[in-house]
Chain A
Amino acid sequence: MANREDIMAKICELIGPFNNKGVDLTASTTFQGDLEWDSLTVMDFVAAVEDEFDIIITMNMQAEIETVGQLADAVAKLMDS
């Protein structure tokens, strides 16, 4: 199973095309505050992450995820379940 570093790297790669402000990405980078994404961008990005890892991130889960690190944790958990 993919380890967290691989997941993190892949997520950063997927953020790329949506990172219009060229923000440096760390585990504590926030989607709303740092990347300044609106809800439409979030939807497109979530779809890309779901398809990359073949998982579902429900809108209920999305509400709890604020940072890149939290997303990586959630993806790791979803891939194990």
Chain B
Amino acid sequence: MTDLLSKFDPLIQERENLLATGVKDPFSLVMEEVLSPTVAICNGKETILLGTYNYMGMTFDDDVRAAGIKALAEFGSGTTGSRVFNGTYSLHRDCEDALREFYAMDHAMVFSTGYQANLGIISTLAGKGDYIILDTDSHASIYDGCAMGNAEIVAFRHNDVEALEKRLKRLPAEAGKLVVLEGVYSMLGDVAPLKEMVRICKENGAMVLVDEAHSMGFIGENGRGVCEAQGVIDDVDFIIGTFSKSVGTVGGFCVSNHPKFEILRLVCRPYIFTASLPPSVMATASTSIRKLMHSGNKRAHLWENSKKLHQGLRDLGFSLGTPEAQSAIIAVIMPDLEKGAMMWQALLTEGLYVNLARPPATPANMTLLRCSLCAEHTSEQVDQILGMFEAAGKAVGAI
């Protein structure tokens, strides 16, 4: 018998080698208690959270939690059904209303996760004979959405406007084309040149989908994302987003002004063949989304935090993923996985949690210590974080 798991032997070996150097497993951290959006107890120690994507700190908001408790009491723990059968409660409709209000768009469709939103929308929109044109640094859910469908897939170099334009011009003029972009790319925290890219897509007859997972609630005057900030939101055909970042719960969505959008509910398999989100999740999401509409002050504070951390890490001598803070993600580039894991553990010992990101999730085989800031981090916490980076960096010889 061939052991089907033997194909993972190289990865098993790499992990064993890494753990043999004495570092803790960076991919199996347990939080014993969570005290707030920015502090948890890990290994019995109070730890500042700097790798949660909880950008707007809504997870402990009083109104959000109260709405969830009320829905849990009134509607029960789960729907046990698909959106198209018994799984649509008034709360699901209300959550879609909240999204339509937030984006000022005609249609909204809620999925059980952000991953499924990309999987479902991309695989359903682009069929046989159509083309999907995507950035090489696209999220796994975008690649998986492409793999699940029957379209022809064309990749272009990350954030390269000219590479996108050349490829669009080489495709048959009459073919259906979907260009898939992201507002903020999650590994390095860099922003896409959507203004130029969306214009080029329209000039070449392509529809545009933008994943704004890492910008919702934060970037743009109303927190609608990079396409709002760059003034092209009206030309974007579909926006994909998630509830598991700024909104502070779980779930995914697509919003659009397309007049035929509602038919997707009947043809999109990852929407149909799965149970809908629990009532409490819908109630927390709706409450959070409506509060995010009026969070200008929090957005301003999150920008201050991001800029301060970026400047501070640069001053300490760390190499960062972007020349300036472009989002609430600040990626510290480490020379290799071993050094990255050592630094990750040294930070944890100091009382700081960040994400250790490694290939193949990262571009150009980089090992990254990915920091994501929260609007609830105080300015003093950012000072503390910089002190921890200095101590850990010196301890492991990273600076």
A residues less than 8 Å from B131 (CB atoms): 58
**B153 contacts which of A44, A50, A59 (Cβ < 8 Å)?**
A59
Asked if B152 contacts A60 (CB within 8 A), the reply is: yes
Distance between A9 CB and nearest chain B CB, rounded to angstroms:
23
| Bound Cα distance from A55 to B167, whole angstroms | 8
Asked if B153 contacts A39 (CB within 8 A), the reply is: no
A residues less than 8 Å from B171 (CB atoms): 56
Main secondary structure of the interface of B (DSSP, over half): mixed
Asked if A50 contacts B365 (CB within 8 A), the reply is: no
A23 on interface, CB distance cutoff 8 Å:
no
Asked if B167 contacts A56 (CB within 8 A), the reply is: yes
B residues less than 8 Å from A46 (CB atoms): 155
| Bound Cα distance from A59 to B163, whole angstroms | 16
| Bound Cα distance from A1 to B136, whole angstroms | 31
CB neighbors of B among A4-40 (8 A): 38-40
Closest chain B residue to A51, Cβ basis: B166
Asked if A58 contacts B360 (CB within 8 A), the reply is: no
| Bound Cα distance from A43 to B171, whole angstroms | 18
CB neighbors of A among B153-197 (8 A): 153-157, 163, 166-167, 170-171
How many residues does chain A have at the interface if contact means C-beta atoms less than 8 Å apart? Answer: 15
| Bound Cα distance from A58 to B365, whole angstroms | 23
Asked if B365 contacts A40 (CB within 8 A), the reply is: yes
Tell me which of A50, A56, A58 has the highest count of chain B C-beta atoms within 10 A of its own C-beta.
A56
Asked if A43 contacts B136 (CB within 8 A), the reply is: yes
A residues less than 8 Å from B154 (CB atoms): 56, 58-59
Q: Render B128-155 as a binary contact track against A, CB cut-off 8 A, 1 for contact.
A: 0001000010000000001000001111
With A39-B360, A47-B163 as given contacts, are A55 and B156 in contact (CB-CB < 8 Å)?
no
Asked if A47 contacts B360 (CB within 8 A), the reply is: no
Asked if B364 contacts A40 (CB within 8 A), the reply is: yes
With A43-B155, A47-B156, A47-B163 as given contacts, are A56 and B365 in contact (CB-CB < 8 Å)?
no
| Bound Cα distance from A72 to B163, whole angstroms | 22
B residues less than 8 Å from A39 (CB atoms): 360
Chain A contacts to B: CB under 8 angstroms: 38-40, 43-44, 46-47, 50-51, 54-56, 58-60
A-B contact pairs, 19 of them (CB 8 A): A39-B360, A40-B363, A40-B365, A43-B136, A43-B155, A44-B157, A46-B155, A47-B156, A50-B166, A50-B167, A50-B170, A55-B170, A56-B154, A56-B171, A58-B152, A59-B146, A59-B153, A59-B155, A60-B152
**Beyond known contacts A47-B155, A56-B167, A59-B154: 4 more, CB 8 A cutoff:** A40-B363, A43-B136, A47-B163, A59-B146
